[in-house]
Structure 1
Amino acid sequence: MKASPVCTYDGANWIPGPLAKGPFPGLHGGVSGGLLAAAMERQAVDLGAGAGLQMSLSLLRPTPVAPVQVSVRTLRHGRRSLQLSAELTAEGKLCAVASALFLTEERLSFIPDRDVIPVAVGGAPFHIGRVTDAPWFFEACEMRREESGRIWMRHRNPVVEDMGGLTRVLSLADWATGLSRPEWVDRNRVMFPNPEITIHLQRAIEGEWLGVDSEPHWNPSGLGITTSDLYDTRGFLGRATQPVVLAVME
């Protein structure tokens, strides 16, 4: 049976379902980013562009669990590259903006093929302790953690119907900061949202699974960054970077 999407389209608005929520009030950042990525991927298909290999997402404010509007603008359309921007609004407020780069392949005979050594998805099922009594986006994802710390993840429920590769990667990679927090962090006292995430990919993702090797860098200043190497079952895929704002809840 085909899993229902996290968000559905009514012809004018995206309607978030219960699994769209984050651990705090509002939509999960991966859902907001996924909606923007999906809209830009659809525009890229309409324009005959290549694969989405870069995206920057800025989360300006919490997105309410309410009908969402997404608009896309073409910044530049060249022979092999397409640059788009997108905005997400809800209840009359701008909540998130994004830009993405789509690139078209062109075979180069002087670069030799590299042997593909498949990467196995391993590890035990990985769960986050209960952070909310309501359904949320974690339940729309399946995760496994290897002893090395690498976390493999895929969607149980797609963010939208017929997700493209950029949407899948961005919506999953946004988990990296939350899943890689240092062991000494009490998540009941410390908030650590990432107001931005940027991903760079060397090619389109293959298969359902995204592997994430993350390293957090947190400072006494209350600022930090999470850097992540991304993998699929073909091997190294790209990288993600997230600035982190740390705050103690009084």
Structure 2
Amino acid sequence: MITGTPVPDSYYVRTDEHRFKPTAHAGGAWSSDEQHFSPLGGLVVHALDQYLAARPDRALVLSRISYDILGRPALDECEIQVETVRPGRTIELLEATVHIGGRAVVRARAWLLSAQDTTAVAGGAEERLTPPERLRPWPMAELWPGGYIASLDVRPVAPPQPGRTTAWVSTPLTLVAGEPSSPLASYLALVDTANGIAVRRSPREWMFPNVDLTVHLHRQPQAGWTGLDTTVVFGPTGQGLTSTVLHDVHGPVGHAQQILTVRPMPDA
């Protein structure tokens, strides 16, 4: 577990080219000695951005990223390695692997697609959400523990309901201390929060962590506020699904899905 003061106003501190140390702000909601996946997901995109920055611009944009959570992400230094799986001029597939303590704990694959002017045929997206500045904050930390949740400004569009909530999420913290992050990395660093805003049952009685996160984007989001229009379903045999329409302040940008393992707390 991370100790010591002062804590940087960021979720991570870079320790070398490929390694990052989480701060207390990255602390998880299910356990105080593990990382919340949301900032770690943003850190993966930060590493992808760094990898792409070393190459000539090919006018490709990240359009889908899928994360598989292979193991418990301890609140400890992590190493991120990126490689090209499928190179191409207009379509490319990258893979990033996060190692903690010598073990692969996250594997992410990102499809990059060519940027084209399709304004003339754009359409079909959902309606815009009520702007966050017109909404009141919600003390999400009363429901969930952990440094990450405590770092958030959460503003529901309507009172949260079991299995159904629409809310804006933002943070005053940077992703990596002393480093600018792309709007996409900053935006995606908040998406995994979706599984915690529309809980069907109390997390003191039931566990429902996600083992993956997949994000599809039809527009590149702007940083600042991440809008989560979220529905959570629990099935009858221990599986659940968190489905989210993603927004920024200009409107919808895509969708996110998280598969859940649902089980009662051991001492519940």
TM-score (norm. length: structure 1): 0.88
1:119–1:235 Cα contact (<8 Å) kept? no
Match of 1:60 in 2: 70
Give 1:92-241 correspondences, 5 Å limit. 92-108=102-118, 111=121, 120-121=131-132, 122-128=134-140, 129=142, 131-132=144-145, 136-147=147-158, 149-160=165-176, 161-182=179-200, 185-241=201-257
Q: Is the 8 A contact 1:41 1:166 kept in 2?
A: no
Q: Distance in 2 between matches of 1:163 and 1:218?
A: 35
Displacement after TM superposition at 1:109 (Å) = 7.7
Structure 2 counterpart of 1:11, which letter? D
Contact 2:215 2:256 in 1 (8 A): yes
Matched, 1:14 2:20: yes
Cα distance change of structure 1 residues 108 and 66 upon mapping to structure 2, 3 Å threshold: closer
| C-alpha distance after superposition, 1:136-170 (max 9, x if no partner) | 11133221111174200122212223222332233
Deviation of 1:81 (Å): 2.5
Q: 17-26 or 141-150, which moves further after superposition?
A: 141-150
Whole-angstrom CA distance in 2 between matches of 1:109 and 1:219: 40
Q: 1:230 offset after TM fit, Å?
A: 0.7
The CA deviation string for residues 26-85 of structure 1, in whole angstroms up to 9 with x for no partner, is 111112222212111222233324222211011111111111111000112322223110
- 1:112 Cα deviation after fit: 7.1
Question: For residues 119 and 26 of structure 2, what CA distance do their matches in structure 1 show?
Answer: 45
Letter of the 1:176 partner, please give it: A
- Going from structure 1 to structure 2, the CA distance change for 1:213 and 1:110 (only over 3 Å counts) comes to closer
Moved over 3 A (4+): 108-114, 116-119
**Percentage of matched positions with identical amino acids:** 22
- Does the aligned pair in 2 maintain the 1:8–1:14 contact within 8 Å? yes
Kept after mapping to 1: 8 A contact 2:10/2:25: no
Contact preservation (8 Å) 1:53, 1:166: no
Aligned length: 243
Name 2:87's counterpart in structure 1: 77
| CA distance 1:147–1:119, shift in 2 (3 Å) | closer
Alpha-carbon distance between aligned partners in 2 of 1:6 and 1:142, rounded to the nearest angstrom: 15
Q: Which stretch of the first structure deviates more once superposed, 221-230 or 104-113?
A: 104-113
Q: Which residue of 2 aligns with 1:45?
A: 53
Note the aligned Cα RMSD (angstroms): 2.4
Alignment gaps of 5+ in structure 2: 1-7, 160-164
2: distance between equivalents of 1:224 and 1:118? 25
Is the 8 Å Cα contact of residues 128 and 252 (structure 2) preserved in structure 1?
Answer: no
Please state if 1:35 is matched with 2:54: no
